[in-house]
């Protein structure tokens, strides 16, 4: 795992600019720093390295190909790089290897096969920048499901890119005007999805895409359209066209064990200490079980616990660890430990990010980093195999919609909306709102967007709100249940779950890996008929059956708690003064971003215990905290 940064175009003292960018994301790569420049073309690359494969200087980046034509910076890991080396050798296209890093392997692949063929052959997580010195083409690439981040844009007449926004924030001539579209999406989802960032001048490369920039684009300050080499929708469509069938359920479990086991084993490649997060739930327990099956030595596993039993799962993780024979480490954290993280979040996450489970994620990654350099996680199981309880609730509403004749849905939606407006905040009003949304939605995507939104209408709280087109606006295809999972896999997974883990882990120089979203596992899941995911009113059926081969069913079959914190109580208690200061009405009005009245109304109702508005308030609080951190950074640098 590393951090990359680069510039192409007119800029004085590129080395100093990139050194500053590298310094600001040193946490992503504390082991070494590199710089390379094509002065004739005006392009420069910077890199900070967390050494995982080939710890010698032979893995140093930026790296130039053996033929001298290409220069590469890579953030991530190519898990099948040894197989790629073997293929290159069998074709007579392998260079004289200088070391055994995956960077050198993928660079040789680009030189031999070209960009698209190499990306299709690679199995891994990555964000890369490849410079073709001969044709003067800069290619930026991101992995299929978006594990590794990549920001890009223009600072004046210069094209810039980096792994983290903080590496770009001090670039000369960068316009740091806030993007109202991004803020609207933040209030709706509690995260800013790609291709948007908090800055209007900077975007994010979408997962599964590449951008190829030429000198012509640079002169015109244009960003060419991204080219898709893989997509969630494409994999889903292929799955619908070529569904799997099995003679028995056991055969289906065998098939999952094969594909997921291969992904887990492939992601255990490392020249440093490796372990895994273990919550005791279905997904993390299965990943750890397959890791333990793949090696003779006990797997290092990690979990955190809370004194509050409503949020604590540490005892379940310990039981699973004992069953599997792992070398388990757990840390019980107090409310004070968790609250101490809050002031650090704005700087850690680069832009406003409001999934409050970021707090325990920070704590568990810090604890794991004391023992290992790489940790595997069980993320992705819910999106692939139907694990979220909201899928079942939304599906019930959508079924009710289907039972109503189309000509009656509009009037019923209007009536439910009017009735809801007459009721105080509460369960009955929420149900009428859901009914109105289901009946009034033109298609499944719009309904699911409203179902998972926090601020249903961001314009009520955001000044000059702008609602951009997103994947939720597309009708899509397939069963409603599958459609929800696909939307989450393309939005919530890369832009919330993977962002949360990447920034928290990288802040303490820990590499995380997610076997469940190996693209081969994802494609397998897309080919599964829904009955292998949802059975007897429960999700993740096939994952459960595989886990039961390793862990007794009674040990892991329990209600899902999630990785959460008592934010509602904290905002009424130890975080009340902090929140009140950030949401001061004068401060809100002077900031020119939020309408003070609706925000303060929710704050007062929350403090009075009339309603739990913690998820809505957290997005506003994280934005205010980020703005304050930005102001402090500017004042310290005399900006």
The residues that are catalytic are 2
First-to-last alpha carbon distance for the chain, in angstroms, is 31
**Inter-residue contact 3 to 45 (CB < 8 Å):** no
What is the pairing mode between strands 511-513 and 300-306?
Answer: unpaired
**Inter-residue contact 404 to 358 (CB < 8 Å):** no
> Within 177-334, where are the H helices?
180-189, 215-220, 232-241, 249-266, 282-294, 314-324
Residue 481 tokens, joined: 């249940």
d(CA 612, CA 603): 10
Buried b (16+ CB within 10 A) or exposed e, 205-239: bbbbbbbbbeeebbeeeebeebeebbbbbebbeeb
Question: Residue 322's Cα: distance from chain center in Å?
Answer: 30
Which runs of E-coded beta strand occur in 439-513?
511-513
Residue 267 tokens, joined: 């992601």
Question: Residue 439's Cα: distance from chain center in Å?
Answer: 32
Residue 135 tokens, joined: 């044709």
Buried b (16+ CB within 10 A) or exposed e, 531-551: ebbbbeeebbbbbbbbbbebb
* Residue 396: burial class (beta carbons within 10 Å; 0-12, 13-18, 19+): exposed
Buried b (16+ CB within 10 A) or exposed e, 105-118: bbbbbbbbbebeeb
In sequence order, which residues have a C-beta less than 8 Å from that of residue 461 and are 6 or more positions away? Answer: 187, 455, 594, 595, 598, 599, 620
Count CB-CB contacts under 10 A for residue 590.
10
> Within 308-405, where are the H helices?
314-324, 335-339, 345-348, 358-369, 381-385, 389-402
3-state DSSP assignment of residue 276: strand
With tokens 């392009």, the residue in question is 43
In sequence order, which residues have a C-beta less than 8 Å from that of residue 484 and are 6 or more positions away? Answer: 391, 394, 395, 444, 448
d(CA 297, CA 303): 19
Name which of 590, 501, 565 is nearest 147 in CA terms: 501
CA distances from 391 to 382, 388, 399, 562 (A): 10, 6, 12, 15
CA distances from 344 to 187, 350, 362 (A): 21, 11, 10
DSSP 572-632: HTTTHHHHHHHT-HHHHHHHTSB-HHHHHHHHHHHHTTS---HHHHHHHHHHHHHHHHHHH
Would the CA dihedral through 22, 28, 33, 38 be positive or negative? negative
In sequence order, which residues have a C-beta less than 8 Å from that of residue 159 and are 6 or more positions away? Answer: 7, 8, 9, 138, 152, 153, 213, 217, 218
Residue 331 tokens, joined: 């840390």
3-state DSSP assignment of residue 342: helix
């Amino acid at each position: 795992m590393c951090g990359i940064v680069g510039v192409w175009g007119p800029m004085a003292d590129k080395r100093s600019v990139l050194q500053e960018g590298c310094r600001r994301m040193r946490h992503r790569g504390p082991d070494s720093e590199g710089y390379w420049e094509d002065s004739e073309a005006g392009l420069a690359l910077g890199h900070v390295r967390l050494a995982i494969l080939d710890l010698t200087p032979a893995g140093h980046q930026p790296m130039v190909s053996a033929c001298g034509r290409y220069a590469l910076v890579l953030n991530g890991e190519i898990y099948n790089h040894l197989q790629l080396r073997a293929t290159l050798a069998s074709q007579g296209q392998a260079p004289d290897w200088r070391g055994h890093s995956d960077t050198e392997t993928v660079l040789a692949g680009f030189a031999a096969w070209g960009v698209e063929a190499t990306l299709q052959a690679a199995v891994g997580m990555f964000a890369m920048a490849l410079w073709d010195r001969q044709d003067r083409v800069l290619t930026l690439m991101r992995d299929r499901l978006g594990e590794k981040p990549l920001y890009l844009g223009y600072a004046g007449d210069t094209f810039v890119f980096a792994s983290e926004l903080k590496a770009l924030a001090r670039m000369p001539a960068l316009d740091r005007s806030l993007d109202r579209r991004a803020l609207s999406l933040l209030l709706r989802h509690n995260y800013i999805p790609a291709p948007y960032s908090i800055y209007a001048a900077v975007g994010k490369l979408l997962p599964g895409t590449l951008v190829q920039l030429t000198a012509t684009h640079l002169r015109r300050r244009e960003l060419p359209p991204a080219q898709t080499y893989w997509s969630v929708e494409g994999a889903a469509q292929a799955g619908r066209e070529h569904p799997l069938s099995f003679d028995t359920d056991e055969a289906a479990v065998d098939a999952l064990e094969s594909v997921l086991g291969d992904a887990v084993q492939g992601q255990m490649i490392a020249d440093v200490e490796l372990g895994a997060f273990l919550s005791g739930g279905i997904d993390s327990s299965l990943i750890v079980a397959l890791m333990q099956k793949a090696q003779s030595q006990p797997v290092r596993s990690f979990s955190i616990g809370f004194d509050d039993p409503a949020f604590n799962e540490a005892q379940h993780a310990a039981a699973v660890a004992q069953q599997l024979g792992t070398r388990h480490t757990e840390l019980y954290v107090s409310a004070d430990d968790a609250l101490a993280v809050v002031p650090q979040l704005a700087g850690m996450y680069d832009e406003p990010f409001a999934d409050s489970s970021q707090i325990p994620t920070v704590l568990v990654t810090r604890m794991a980093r004391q023992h290992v350099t790489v940790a595997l996680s069980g993320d992705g199981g819910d999106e692939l195999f139907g694990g979220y309880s909201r899928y079942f609730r939304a599906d019930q509403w959508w079924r009710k919609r289907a039972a109503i004749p189309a000509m009656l849905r509009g009037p019923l939606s209007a009536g439910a909306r009017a009735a809801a407006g007459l009721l105080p905040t509460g369960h009955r009003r929420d149900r009428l709102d859901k009914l109105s949304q289901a009946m009034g939605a033109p298609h499944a995507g719009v309904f699911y967007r409203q179902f998972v939104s926090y601020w249903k209408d961001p314009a009520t709280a955001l000044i000059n709100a702008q609602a951009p087109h997103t994947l939720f606006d597309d009708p899509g295809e397939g069963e409603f249940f599958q459609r929800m999972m696909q939307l989450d896999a393309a939005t919530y997974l890369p832009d919330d779950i993977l962002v949360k883990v990447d920034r928290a882990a990288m802040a303490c120089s820990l590499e995380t890996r997610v076997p469940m979203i190996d693209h081969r596992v994802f494609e397998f899941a897309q080919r599964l008929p829904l009955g292998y995911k949802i059975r007897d009113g429960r999700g993740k059926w096939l994952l459960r059956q595989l886990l039961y081969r390793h862990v007794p069913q009674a040990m892991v079959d329990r209600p899902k708690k999630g990785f959460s914190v008592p934010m509602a109580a904290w905002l009424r208690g130890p975080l009340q003064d902090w929140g009140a200061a950030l949401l001061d009405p004068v401060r809100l009005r002077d900031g020119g971003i939020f309408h003070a009245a609706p925000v303060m109304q929710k704050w007062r109702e929350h403090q009075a215990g009339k309603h739990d508005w913690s998820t809505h308030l957290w997005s506003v609080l994280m934005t205010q905290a980020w703005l304050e951190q930005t102001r402090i950074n500017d004042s310290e640098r005399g900006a």
